[in-house]
């Protein structure tokens, strides 16, 4: 089977139709990963959560890791084990706080210089490739969708909205995660960060998604879970809804999130979507 995300496919066509993959979770999903949490609230700049200024809403853009799937615990354990194995930090395992503040949401190109500034590029690249392979082994058995994901996807489809995934993840990870989540027929376009001139937190990946969908940033918003991703969406001129399932709300709000939700079941999100749906201007993009 040819790669679903091959270069001649990337951004130039819509996703081909494939049978949905059923979700089949096995093994023990880590429950000990509990980063610091704070209360969920709207942006400090607004007492009311609203995206009504986007009407007519045309599209929604989704990050992948930590946004449509609860993958951060798996990334944390993979990084923790691999970094300990190579003697990072004197062999002391990294903490969840270190993962959130230093690693989460960043592209491996940037992580190579952050984690291994004195290493030869080939050596650091190999370590990060090994880490991603380790993550895929964990994800193949333990990946879980973000709570409320399929309810949200159904709403998006019913509204006739355009949609794209925009990720810093390696292509091989995306080729595993999207089918596992049953979303091969959902996304029209998938933007891989490494195929852009600059990765998140620069706006390039999100700008490329807007271009591919032929929609305006004035009628589109973003779902993101990381500081770098939120900064990228804001830099592309769009409001960003932050997901604080694993990352502290204060970090996401400080990065520019319009408001922060726990997951896609959050009543706050559905209040905002219902307000958009009531707007007579909310039409569909075909």
As annotated, the active-site residues are: 63, 65
CA–CA dist 11, 208 (Å, integer): 8
Class of residue 285 by CB neighbours under 10 A (exposed 0-12, middle 13-18, buried 19+) = middle
Structural tokens at position 196:
């852009």
Residues 6+ apart with CB under 8 A from 58: 161, 162, 213, 215, 216, 219, 220, 285
Question: Does 2 sit behind a cis peptide bond, omega within 30 degrees of 0 on the bond before it?
Answer: no
Measured CA to CA in angstroms, residue 57 lies from 46, 162, 182, 189, 220 at distances of 20, 9, 24, 18, 6
CA–CA dist 206, 218 (Å, integer): 13
């Amino acid at each position: 089977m040819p790669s679903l995300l091959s270069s001649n496919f990337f951004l130039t066509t819509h996703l081909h139709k494939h049978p949905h993959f059923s979700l089949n979770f096995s093994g023990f999903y880590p429950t000990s990963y509990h980063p610091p949490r704070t209360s969920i609230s709207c942006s400090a700049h607004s007492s009311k959560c609203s995206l009504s200024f986007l009407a007519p809403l045309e599209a929604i853009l989704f990050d992948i890791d930590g946004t449509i799937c609860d993958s951060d615990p798996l990334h944390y354990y993979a990084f923790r084990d691999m970094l300990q194995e190579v003697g990072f930090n004197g062999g002391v395992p990294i903490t969840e706080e270190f993962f959130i503040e230093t690693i989460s949401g960043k592209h491996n190109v940037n992580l190579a210089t952050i984690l291994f500034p004195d290493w030869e590029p080939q050596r650091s690249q190999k370590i990060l490739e090994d880490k991603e392979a380790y993550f895929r082994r964990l994800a193949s058995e333990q990946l879980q969708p973000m709570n409320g994901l399929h309810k949200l996807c159904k709403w998006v489809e019913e509204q006739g909205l355009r949609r794209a995934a925009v990720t810093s993840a390696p292509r091989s990870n995306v080729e595993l995660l999207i089918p596992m989540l049953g979303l091969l027929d959902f996304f029209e376009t998938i933007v891989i960060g490494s195929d852009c001139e600059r990765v998140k937190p620069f706006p390039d990946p999100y700008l490329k998604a807007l271009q591919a969908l032929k929609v305006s940033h004035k009628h589109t918003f973003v779902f993101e879970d990381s500081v770098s991703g939120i900064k990228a969406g804001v830099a592309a001129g769009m409001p960003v809804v932050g997901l604080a399932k694993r990352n502290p709300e204060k970090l996401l709000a400080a990065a520019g999130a319009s408001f922060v939700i726990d997951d896609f079941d959050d009543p706050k999100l559905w209040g905002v979507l219902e307000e958009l749906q009531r707007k007579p201007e909310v039409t569909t993009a075909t």
